[in-house]
Amino acid sequence: MARLRVLLPLPLAGAYDYRVPAVWAEAPAAGSFVEVPLSGRSMIGVVWDGEADPDLPEKKLRDIRAVLDVPPMTASLRKFVDWVAAYTLNPPGAVLRMAMSAPSALEPPASKAGWRLSAAGQRAKRGEGKLTETRRRVLDAIEPGDVQSAAAISAEAGVSSGVVRGMAEAGLLESALMPAGEAFPAPDLTRPGPLLGGEQQVAAAALRQATAAQAFGVTLLTGVTGSGKTEVYLDAVEECLKLGRQALVLLPEIALSTQWLERFERRFGVPPALWHSELGSRRRRDTWRALAEGRIQVLVGARSALFLPYPDLGLIVVDEEHETAFKQEEGVVYHARDMAVVRARLSQAACVLVSATPSLETLTNAETGRYAALHLPVRHGGASMPAVSLIDQRATPPERGRFLSPPLVEAVHATLAEGQQAMLFLNRRGYAPLTLCRSCGHRMRCPNCSAWLVEHRVRRCLQCHHCGHAEPIPPHCPECHSESSLTPLGPGVERVQEEAELLFPEARRLVMASDTIAGPAAAAEAARAIAAREVDLIIGTQIVAKGWHFPHLTLVGVVDADLGLAGGDLRAAERTVQLLHQVAGRAGRAEAPGRVLLQSWSPEHPVLEALVAGDLDGFMAAEAEARRPGHWPPFGRLAALIVSAEDEREADRVARDLGLSGPAGEGVQVLGPAPAPLALLRGRHRRRLLLKARRDIAVQPLLREWLGRVQIPASVRVQVDVDPVSF
């Protein structure tokens, strides 16, 4: 009797063997989605590659229950799942889970009876009344207006169908008709794109050719901010769609990419399909299915879009490839830029990495010829790059208790007087990063993390930016009980706004931070208001550094250019250069030239000198030379083990054991254990060990053996992070 391996979306060691029912005419093909029994439950898995174990006794085997009416998972996606699992040291089932996205995606999209939230259910979802944990999970899984089958709801929420029935009886759910799957309009490939400039044409032709080859290859597309890189790679997207293959564009922050989406729509006449974590469950299901069935040609997504079921993926673009948002730090830890390259290789697809400030990894790959490189040297339409200069705060300090120095205030006044827009940038949310008691020196810190609480004056609370803990601002010091002795220290963006209100009362101001610009609608409205000149002064955190095009913005002031340069992280300099260059790149994108002022207490820092000289290439070359001798990435391999436990001594003990039994040998080195960058996070004590190896040594076998040598109690978690972004 035929046996098959079925991979289940669970963190199990491998695939499980099942029997094909004797009455079936043929065994389901590899990649088929099948329903199988698992310890009394029913589960959906995928028929996996490889031979089932012929020696497993017949009585241990169970029958496959059914084959689902869903296109089978392609061989290239199955290989990708296995590859990512092996590279990141995760069980393949944990990666498969990302590829299945939502179990309910596998439901047929016919219109039939289902359930939706009743009015009472919506109130309960908003937090009214008491609920059991399982009912709470069900409410979390359904968006208001969504209609889903009982099976989909129980699968999504991980509860039995009895819970769903019970909630219907209790009036929290009501029956409704499920709509059929949504249509995704096809892009119009006959619309002409914009007339490309000379250098754009050369680059676009090269990308079209790389795409048309229908073979694996990686191209790095660089060029200053505003040089027209997007228009160039949209040409490659068009080429890919003409070949009948699918294209994927990865963006670091979809919710803020409204201008990008508008451009896509102008170019192709329809909006692209979207994929990101805030997508409602119905939309998620429809998109997954439409993609699997070949009804979506082009998709724009966050990193998890790499795991979607494209029938024939022909092109992957990673825009702003240097962004750390592409790194997933929870669960399966992976870097979407690197995995995009792997996915492209397994799909015989072209991969395009795009950035004005590429990562040192990617630059090095281009230099050694592993990646092709294309460069756009000038801004589109003759706009010039902004002039960058430094304000030495030691020479011209801000007034006491203020954060804007006289030259910067002067420059903002002059810009506003000319009727142009200015921007003040500070990479810090909230009002003040630290609250200190002036009587006893007590600092307000998070009870769960080794981090200070950040004052948010708008929301009237102190908040931890790592675990979300929030508490009201106390009327007196919790330590010495002095009244009104607590003082905010240092600036956050809210405090800059307060100062701007005093200094530029006439200016129409807009704060752009993740707490004021929460979703796509707010982002679109902000972009519109700025373009329509309804705003004079923009005050923002790192969200203003994203690819915005603000044609009337001519002055960018960086309130604290030194922020991010302190600390032991070897990658801090690279990241700061990238961020500040991106912020600077918002200025002077149209006719009027732009300028950028960087306030600093240490203006001789090489990062700041490089920004002033506009010599990013030189800076990155120096950075490479600094990392090469010690075999730091990208000249060597690095993996981190994060050991964490609620009990500090247990974390220390396991970390010490790991430190004593680490791999040794030529070209391999273990650093640590040391406190992890956040030594306490969400109530868990964290220690870090780093494994550094020469480039020609694969770290995965070393890590596997290493972890096998140490007894790790259930209360201790060891997270593996291959290629950590900070070190």
Draw the binding track, 471-500, toward Zn ion (x: CB under 5 A; -: no contact).
------x-xx--------------------
* Shortest separation between residue 379's beta carbon and ligand ADP, angstroms: 7
Q: What are the CB-based long-range contacts (under 8 Å, 24+) for 261-267?
A: 261/300, 263/230, 263/234, 264/234, 264/300, 267/191, 267/193, 267/234
Report the partner that residue 576 touches, choosing among ligand ADP, Zn ion, none (CB closer than 5 to 8 A by kind).
Answer: none
Measured CA to CA, the distance from residue 547 to residue 543 in angstroms comes to 9
Q: 229 or 575: whose CB is closer to ligand ADP?
A: 229
Q: ∠618-621-624 over CA atoms, to 5°?
A: 155
Cα–Cα nearest to 276, from 247, 299, 310? 299
Q: Is 461 annotated as a binding residue?
A: no
Task: Tell me whether the omega of the peptide bond preceding residue 673 falls within 30 degrees of 0, making it cis.
Answer: yes
The mark string for 227-256 relative to ligand ADP (x by CB under 6 A, - otherwise) is xxxxx-------------------------
What proportions of the chain, in percent to the nearest 5, are helix, strand and coil?
A: 35, 25, 45
659 binds ligand ADP, rule: CB under 6 A: no
Residue closer to ligand ADP by CB (options 224, 296) is 224
Window contacting ligand ADP (CB under 6 A); options: 190-198, 289-297, 462-470, 596-604? 190-198
- Binding of residue 226 to ligand ADP (CB under 6 A): yes
Binding residues for ligand ADP, total number by CB under 6 A: 16
Identify any residues that bridge with 116 across adjacent strands, giving them in sequence order: 174
**Binding partner of 315, given ligand ADP, Zn ion, none, CB within 5-8 angstroms per partner class:** none
> Which of 135, 469, 581, 692 contacts Zn ion by CB under 5 A?
469
- Of 445 and 549, nearer to ligand ADP (C-beta) is 549
Say whether 240 counts as a known binding-site residue.
Answer: no
- Name the helix (H) or strand (E) containing 141: helix 133-141
Exposure of 352 by Cβ count < 10 A (0-12 exposed, 13-18 middle, 19+ buried)? buried
Q: Which of 195, 395, 502, 532 is the binder for ligand ADP (CB under 6 A)?
A: 195
Q: Which stretch binds ligand ADP (CB under 6 A): 191-199, 304-312, 412-420, 614-622?
A: 191-199
> Is residue 222 a contact residue for ligand ADP (CB under 6 A)?
no
Chain residues 171-190 in contact with Zn ion, contact rule CB under 5 A? none
CB 594 within 8 A of CB 588: yes
- Which of ligand ADP, Zn ion, none does 197 bind, CB closer than 5 to 8 A by kind? ligand ADP
Least separation in angstroms between residue 448's CB and Zn ion is: 4
351 is in an annotated binding site: no
**Cβ 308 to ligand ADP shortest distance, Å:** 25
Which residue number has the CB closest to ligand ADP?
A: 228
Is beta strand 595-600 parallel, antiparallel or unpaired with respect to 668-681? unpaired
* In contact, 457 and 494? CB cutoff 8 Å: yes
CA 563 centroid distance within chain: 22
CB of residue 456 to Zn ion, shortest distance in Å:
14
Q: At closest approach, how far in Å is the CB of 677 from Zn ion? A: 14
State how far the Cα of 240 lies from the Cα of 260, in Å rounded to an integer: 19
Q: Write the secondary structure of 358-409 as one string of H (helix), E (strand) and C (coil).
A: CCHHHHHHHHCCCCEEEEECCCHHHCCCCEEEEEECCCCCCCCCCCCCHHHH
**Closest CB to Zn ion among residues 137, 445:** 445
380 binds ligand ADP per the rule CB under 6 A: yes
Is residue 464 marked as binding? yes
Q: What is the closest distance, in whole angstroms, from the C-beta atom of residue 228 to ligand ADP in the complex?
A: 3
440 binds, among Zn ion, ligand ADP, none (CB under 5 to 8 A by kind): Zn ion
**Dist CA 252 CA 263 (whole Å):** 17
Q: By C-beta, is 155 or 437 nearer to Zn ion?
A: 437
Distance CA 512, CA 523 (A): 9
Task: Pick the closer one to ligand ADP by CB: 533 or 682.
Answer: 533
Q: In what order do the strands lie in the sheet with 298-301?
A: 273-275, 298-301, 246-250, 313-319, 350-355, 217-223, 372-376
Closest contact distance (angstroms) between CB of 580 and ligand ADP is 16
Strands 595-600 and 553-558: what pairing?
parallel
- Residue closer to ligand ADP by CB (options 194, 294) is 194
Closest approach, Cβ 598 to ligand ADP, in A, equals 21
E strand or H helix that includes residue 720:
strand 717-722
Could you tell me if 109 and 287 are in contact, meaning their C-beta atoms sit under 8 angstroms apart?
no
Instruction: Please tell me what DSSP assigns to residue 694.
Output: E
Asked whether 387 and 519 are in contact (CB, 8 A), the reply is no
Select from Zn ion, ligand ADP, none the partner in contact with residue 227, using the beta carbon and a kind-dependent cut-off of 5 to 8 Å: ligand ADP
CA 256 – CA 518 distance, rounded (Å):
9
Contact between 196 and ligand ADP by CB under 6 A: the answer reads: yes
Q: How far is the CB of 226 from ligand ADP (least distance, A)?
A: 4
Kindly tell me which of 549 and 653 has the beta carbon lying closer to ligand ADP.
549
Angle at 284 (CA atoms; ends 281, 289), nearest 5 degrees:
130
Q: How many residues bind Zn ion (CB under 5 A)?
A: 14
Nearer of residues 223 and 490 to ligand ADP, judged by Cβ? 223
Candidates 58-66, 188-196, 415-423, 519-527 — which segment interacts with ligand ADP by CB under 6 A?
188-196
Question: Measured from the CB atom, is 68 or 590 closer to ligand ADP?
Answer: 590
**Phi/psi at 84 (nearest 5 deg)?**
-65, -40
Question: From residue 535 to residue 574, what is the string marking binding to ligand ADP with x (rule CB under 6 A)?
Answer: ------------x-x-------------------------
| CA atoms within a 13 Å half-sphere pointing along the CA-CB vector of 185 | 9
Name which of 72 and 588 has its Cβ closer to ligand ADP.
588
Find the binder of ligand ADP among 71, 91, 194, 614 (CB under 6 A): 194
Q: Which does 446 bind (CB under 5 to 8 A by kind): Zn ion, ligand ADP, none?
A: Zn ion
Near ligand ADP by CB under 6 A, which window of 194-202, 429-437, 599-607, 647-655? 194-202
Q: Which amino acid is at 611?
A: L
Give, as ranges, the residues between 439 and 468 that touch Zn ion (CB under 5 A). 439-440, 442, 446, 448-449, 464, 466-467
Nearest CB to ligand ADP, comparing residues 199 and 338: 199
Residues 6 or more apart in contact with residue 169 via CB below 8 angstroms = none
- The helix/strand/coil state of 176 is strand
Name the token pair of 673.
């254990």
Residue 119 exposed, middle or buried by CB count within 10 Å (0-12, 13-18, 19+) = exposed
**Nearer of residues 230 and 644 to Zn ion, judged by Cβ:** 644
For residue 628, give the 3-state DSSP assignment.
coil
Alpha-carbon distances of 49 from 7, 32, 82, 532, rounded to whole Å: 9, 11, 10, 56
Binding residues: 437, 440, 446, 449, 464, 467, 477, 480
Site of interaction with Zn ion (CB under 5 A): 437, 439-440, 442, 446, 448-449, 464, 466-467, 469, 477, 479-480
Site of interaction with ligand ADP (CB under 6 A): 194-197, 200, 223, 225-231, 380, 547, 549
Binding residues for Zn(2+): 437, 440, 446, 449, 464, 467, 477, 480
